[in-house]
Amino acid sequence: MQRRHFVSGLGCAAALAVSATPAVLWAQPNTPKAGTDFLKLDKPVAVDAPAGKVEVIEFFWYNCPHCHAFEPALAAWVSKLPKDVAFKRVPIAFNDSFVPQQRLFYALEAMGQLDSLHARVFNAIHSEKLQLTKAEAIVDWVVKQGVDKTKFLAQFNSFSASTKATRAKQLASAYQLEGVPAIGVAGRYYTDGSLAKSMDRALFVTDFLIDLARKGH
């Protein structure tokens, strides 16, 4: 499968243009095209969503500025998803230095704290310029948000977090992920800002791919 390359460091996709004007975004053809706006995987990826649901994955990294810029549009889009779409975020680890933030995500998820703290993690890193890359700094920050330290550490260091991190690595490999943010649909399709020309338009492409998946394509 031919893949587009990301021209960026540290695993963030370069060609996102999330601030592009609507006139530029929607000047693209209405019908997304395979190989241009999205890729159809040569080998389908096993999904975790139950039967009758279309799985949509956002691959992200907390330190990625493009993921931070994309989050408000993504959150608004997710809030309007139909009931037959199962959406999940997957924190990636292109190298071992990313792992503490993976564990942060899965610990917050296990504690039911993602809704209140996910966007705040992005804000702490990109607006407050905090270095939340190591376990000690992460734990200190989480405690300041009112989270119980003992309970958080139990989840942060848990076998469950390790298992989910391993699954995230498998998914990134199966989708042949090269940068973030990126979106996988139904274990069969992939799009990102480079392919769709912006992450805002990638959501339009994702809606198209969800419909394809519903039809069994």
CATH code, domain carrying 76: 3.40.30.10
The pLDDT, as a whole number, for residue 11 is 55
The pLDDT, as a whole number, for residue 20 is 41
Tell me if 25 is assigned to some domain: no
The pLDDT, as a whole number, for residue 29 is 53
Tell me if 30 is assigned to some domain: no
What is the reported pTM? 0.87
**CA distances from residue 81 to 14, 39, 57, 136, 214 in whole angstroms, order as listed:** 27, 22, 13, 36, 14
Q: How far apart are alpha carbons 149 and 156 in whole angstroms?
A: 10
The pLDDT, as a whole number, for residue 186 is 97
- Both tokens of residue 146? 């009112």
Tell me if 3 is assigned to some domain: no
The pLDDT, as a whole number, for residue 14 is 39
Domain range holding 82? 55-214
The pLDDT, as a whole number, for residue 178 is 85
Tell me if 17 is assigned to some domain: no
Q: How far apart are alpha carbons 78 and 60 in whole angstroms?
A: 15
Q: Which residues does the chain have with pLDDT short of 70?
A: 1-29
The pLDDT, as a whole number, for residue 30 is 75
Tell me if 13 is assigned to some domain: no
Tell me if 23 is assigned to some domain: no
How many Cα atoms within 13 Å fall on the side-chain side of residue 152?
22
The pLDDT, as a whole number, for residue 79 is 96
Tell me if 188 is assigned to some domain: yes
The pLDDT, as a whole number, for residue 179 is 93
Domain count, the chain: 1
Tell me if 38 is assigned to some domain: no
